[in-house]
Amino acid sequence: MINKNQYDETKPLDMHDLQFDIAAQRLDIEGWILEKIKYPRREFSVRFPLRLDNGDIVQLAGYRVQHNTLRGPGKGGIRYHPRVDLDEVRALAAWMTWKCAVVNIPFGGAKGGVTCDPSQMTSNELENLTRRYVFEISPLIGPEQDIPAPDVNTSPQVMSWIVDTYSVLKGYTCNSVVTGKPVCIGGSLGRLKATSMGCLYTMLEAAKVLGLDLQDKSVAVQGFGNVGYYAAELFIAAGMKLVAISNSKGGVYNPRGLDLTALKEHYDHGGRLGGFAAAEEITNTELLELDCDILVPAALENQITRDNAERIRARFVVEGANGPTSPFADDILYDKGIMVLPDILANAGGVTVSYFEWVQNLQKLFWSEDDVNRQLAKIIGQAFSEVYRIHQAEKVNMRTAAYMLALGRVAEAKQVRGIFP
Q: What is the pLDDT of residues 389-414, one digit of tens each?
A: 999 999 999 999 999 999 999 999 99
Is 374 a residue whose pLDDT tops 90? yes
* Residues 77 and 174 reside in one and the same domain: yes
Is 68 a residue whose pLDDT tops 90? yes
Would you say 198 and 271 are in contact if contact means Cβ atoms under 8 Å apart?
no
Q: What is the pLDDT of residue 214?
A: 98
* Average pLDDT of every residue of the chain: 97
Residue 59 lies in a domain: yes
Domain end marker among 141, 159, 185: 185
Q: What is the pLDDT of residue 57?
A: 98
Q: In this prediction, what percent of the chain has a pLDDT beyond 90?
A: 97
* Residues 333 and 254 reside in one and the same domain: yes
For residues 113-124, average pLDDT: 97
The CB-side HSE value for 167 (13 A sphere, CA atoms) comes to 13
Specify the number of domains making up the chain.
2
Residue 231 lies in a domain: yes
For residue 53, the surrounding DSSP H or E stretch is none
Q: Give the CATH number of the domain where residue 170 resides.
A: 3.40.50.10860
* Residues 61 and 126 reside in one and the same domain: yes
Q: What is the pLDDT of residue 184?
A: 97
* Residues 97 and 230 reside in one and the same domain: no
Question: Which amino acid is residue 105, in one-letter code?
Answer: I
What is the CB neighbour count within 10 angstroms for residue 29? 19
* Residues 140 and 94 reside in one and the same domain: yes
For residues 327-347, average pLDDT: 97
Residue 84 lies in a domain: yes
Gyration radius of the chain's alpha carbons:
21
* Residues 265 and 162 reside in one and the same domain: no
* Residues 73 and 161 reside in one and the same domain: yes
Write out the residue range of the structural domain in which residue 166 sits: 42-185
Q: What is the pLDDT of residue 222?
A: 98
* Residues 276 and 178 reside in one and the same domain: no
Residue 15 lies in a domain: no
77-107 residue pLDDT tens: 999 999 999 999 999 999 999 999 999 999 9
For residues 232-251, average pLDDT: 97
Residue 102 lies in a domain: yes
* Residues 342 and 202 reside in one and the same domain: yes
Is 375 a residue whose pLDDT tops 90? yes
Q: What is the pLDDT of residue 5?
A: 87
Q: What is the pLDDT of residue 7?
A: 96
Residue 280 lies in a domain: yes
* Residues 200 and 339 reside in one and the same domain: yes
* Residues 79 and 96 reside in one and the same domain: yes
DSSP state of 217: -
Give the full edge-to-edge strand order of the sheet including 74-81: 42-51, 57-68, 108-115, 74-81, 146-150
Q: What is the pLDDT of residue 163?
A: 98
Q: What is the pLDDT of residue 18?
A: 97
* Residues 131 and 233 reside in one and the same domain: no
Is 421 a residue whose pLDDT tops 90? no
Residue 75 lies in a domain: yes
Is 217 catalytic? The answer is no
Q: What is the pLDDT of residue 300?
A: 85
244-291 residue pLDDT tens: 999 989 999 999 999 999 999 999 998 899 999 889 999 999 999 999
**Active-site pick, 38, 75, 99, 111:** 111
Residue 360 lies in a domain: no
Q: Give the CATH number of the domain where residue 204 resides.
A: 3.40.50.720
| Distance, CA of 320 to CA of 204 (rounded, Å) | 14
Domain end marker among 139, 154, 185: 185
Domain end marker among 288, 322, 346: 346
Q: What is the pLDDT of residue 271?
A: 87
For residue 69, the surrounding DSSP H or E stretch is none
Q: In this prediction, what percent of the chain has a pLDDT beyond 70?
A: 100
